[in-house]
Amino acid sequence: MKRITILLTAAALLLTVSVPTVLAKGGDGTTIALKAGKAFPAAKGAAKIRTREGAREFEAEVEHVRRLAGKRVSFFLGGSKIGTARVTALGAAHLERNSQRGQPVPTVKAGTRVVVRTAGGVKIVSGSF
C-alpha cells in the first residue's frame, strides 16, 4: 500500500513538472500562449499583461513567420488594434505598450482575446486571457 502511494505521488509530481504552463499568474502579470492560425501552422507566440503602479503594460510577440520578414503585422487586444510591428529577418515580431507612456492598453479581463494578423487580415496567432 505504501509503495502504491509513493508511485502515485511520483507520477503526479512528474506530470505537474512536465506539462507546460499556458497561463501563469503572479506579481509579474499574466502570460498566455498564442496558438497558430490555419495559414501559419508553425507560428507561435505569447502575450503578457500586468499592472504596475497604476499603469497597464501589455507585451506580445509572434515567432516562426519568416515568410513575412520585412512586412508589418497588427496586434489586437480585445478587438481593438493597439499597434503594428515589423517582422524581423528571423521571422519574429514584438510589441510593447504602457498606458503610463500614453500608449493605448485596453482593460483586460478573463476571456479578452489577443490576435496577431497580417496587413491583409489573415490570422497568424491568437489566444485568450
Asked if residue 28 belongs to a domain, the reply is: yes
pLDDT tens across the length of the chain (129 residues): 555 544 445 555 444 443 333 344 445 788 999 999 999 999 999 999 998 777 889 999 999 999 999 999 999 999 989 999 999 999 999 999 988 788 878 888 889 999 999 999 999 999 999
Total domains in the fold of the chain = 1
Amino acid at 38: K
In order of 2, 11, 13, 17, the CA distances from 5 in angstroms are 5, 10, 12, 18
Asked if residue 9 belongs to a domain, the reply is: no
Task: Give this prediction's pTM.
Answer: 0.74
Alpha-carbon gap, residue 6 to 16, rounded angstroms: 15
Strand order in the sheet with 80-86: 80-86, 72-77, 113-118, 123-128, 30-36, 44-52, 55-63, 93-98
The three grid cell numbers given for residue 128, joined into one nine-digit string = 485568450
DSSP code per residue over 56-86: EEEEEEEES-GGGTTSEEEEEETTEEEEEEE
Q: Which domain does 80 fall in, by range?
A: 22-128
CATH number, position 85:
2.60.40.200
